[in-house]
Amino acid sequence: MEIHEYKAHELHSLLKKGEISSVEITKAFLKRIDTIDPTINSFLNITHEAALSQAKEADNRIKNKNAGPLTGVPYALKDVVVTKDITTTCGSKMLYNFKPPYNATVYNHLKKAGMVMLGKTNMDEFAMGSSNENSAFCTCKNPWDIERIPGGSSGGSAAAVAAELAPVSFGSDTGGSIRQPASHCGVIGMKPTYGRVSRYGLIAFASSLDQIGPFAKSIKDIAELLNIISGHDQCDSTSVQIEIPDYTKALNKGIKGIKIGVPHQYFTEGIDPDVEKAIKKTLITAEGLGAEIIDIDLPYTEYSVAVYYIIAPAEASSNLARYDGVKYGYRFKETSQLLDMYKKTRLNGFGSEVKRRILIGTFALSAGYYDAYFKKASQIRTLIINDFKNAFKNVDVIMTPVAPTAAFKFGFAKDPLKMYLSDIFTLPASLAGIPGMSLPCGFDSNNMPIGLQILGSYFNEETILTVANALEKTIKLNYKKPSK
């Protein structure tokens, strides 16, 4: 087996046994990135030097018997998470030269755990998109077929793990940006409950929705990564002060008697028959393992696209007001007029999708329209939340497809509305703030991966992990490898 083929926890046991050093592992991944990534574009910034110095530190810790469960294991980080003195662009020309003066809490946790950052990954500008086509720098490709999108907005992080350029990675999920690219790239991706992981240093898109989470090739790795990044942070008042369980313990349980809710609203017109078949087959597998399948009703699902595409742009229009050319990144300099500088900075610095969201958001929040749009959307959001609360009175997890189709070809969803509609299955959980995972469960007729979405109740990541772990063992997830 080659180094890049191992899962994160397997790499760590090799490290612990002294069979390999973190420097050797890190060099192997960096070499693989340098060779393969020019065709995938999953990285925006490969941090060779910082990676090797972190790897040396990790080796010392392992030698001094001061290592945690993933010390010395490399990872890739979405370029939406700020890293001190390391360029953090958020996929935008607006921040093309931004070297943050501080670290995000998640990055500090990873450093403390002794993990090794290989670089910052490609993404849709300001995390707005479902295909990575909105990156201001280059388009990330799907390693299973480079004519297809990797999904978005964390496409770079998902593609990096799928192409085995990193054993694990991190992304952010506002409306599906971890689960959907994980599904399209055939890897596991998990969005924790809103408030489980600190957002301090996560460049804000829509603050009531944004959440950081991991990508990996095994559930055990996901559990270990959640152990590292979870927890209250005094720098983020929305992070919640409740005990963090040891997530790896969830993997010791079976799923006999577990109740799985299946909402018929997620199997509607527009869903690809291959996707439906793969999901239904996995439900049968779960039943075979002793789970009980229960039909449930999530009647407000159909409003989630409309609600999300008012709330997220509204919050974005406010969050993105800070990019005025004064404090961060790009500034239009060829003018002596302040107002002109603001205008041209924003005109040139933002791409068209970001501008579209700022326009929609500003409109939805403006006097006279606030009640009709933002307020109404917020009220319906409460109904969507209640849908889930009611459902979780009777079931332990909910299973649905992640997306209506597998990864589509570049240019397929040029019409923004078509792109927005493809988020239909991930948005409800984001609006409710509940945790969700994408677990690879099959392939479509083009040989592209299909993901099963497993949703849990608030702060019940453990049950999702238990169920996913049982399925992972039975359906043998990584039975096919991407061609690139």
> Residues interacting with ligand GLN, by CB under 6 A?
127-130, 153, 173-177, 205, 312, 423
Q: How far is the CB of 16 from ligand GLN (least distance, A)?
A: 36
Q: For every residue of 172-202, which 3-state class applies, written as one string?
A: EECCCCCHHHHHHHCCEEEECCCCCECCCCE
Q: How far is the CB of 433 from ligand GLN (least distance, A)?
A: 13
Q: How far is the CB of 162 from ligand GLN (least distance, A)?
A: 18
The number of C-alpha atoms within 13 Å of 374 and in the hemisphere containing its C-beta is: 19
Q: How far is the CB of 221 from ligand GLN (least distance, A)?
A: 22
Active-site residue (options: 42, 92, 130, 153): 153
Distance CA 118, CA 344 (A): 35
* Structural contact between residues 81 and 104, judged by C-beta atoms closer than 8 angstroms: yes
Q: Which is nearer to ligand GLN, 91 or 119 (CB)?
A: 91
Distance CA 483, CA 341 (A): 47
Distance CA 401, CA 100 (A): 37
Active-site residue (options: 154, 177, 183, 230): 177
Distance CA 420, CA 305 (A): 7
The number of C-alpha atoms within 13 Å of 441 and in the hemisphere containing its C-beta is: 29
Active-site residue (options: 7, 22, 78, 92): 78
Q: How far is the CB of 180 from ligand GLN (least distance, A)?
A: 7
22 is catalytic: no
Q: Which is nearer to ligand GLN, 150 or 175 (CB)?
A: 175
Task: Quote the tokens at residue 19.
Answer: 């069979």
Q: How far is it between the farthest Cα atoms of the chain?
A: 71
Q: How far is the CB of 231 from ligand GLN (least distance, A)?
A: 22
Distance CA 300, CA 303 (A): 6
Task: Quote the tokens at residue 247.
Answer: 């997530």
Name the H helices within 17-84.
22-40, 48-63
Distance CA 472, CA 97 (A): 41
Q: How far is the CB of 337 from ligand GLN (least distance, A)?
A: 34
177 is catalytic: yes
Distance CA 14, CA 125 (A): 38
Q: Which is nearer to ligand GLN, 175 or 261 (CB)?
A: 175
Among residues 435, 154, 144, 449, the alpha carbon closest in space to that of 272 is found at: 449
Q: Which is nearer to ligand GLN, 176 or 456 (CB)?
A: 176
* Structural contact between residues 309 and 377, judged by C-beta atoms closer than 8 angstroms: no
By annotation, the residues acting in catalysis are: 78, 153, 177
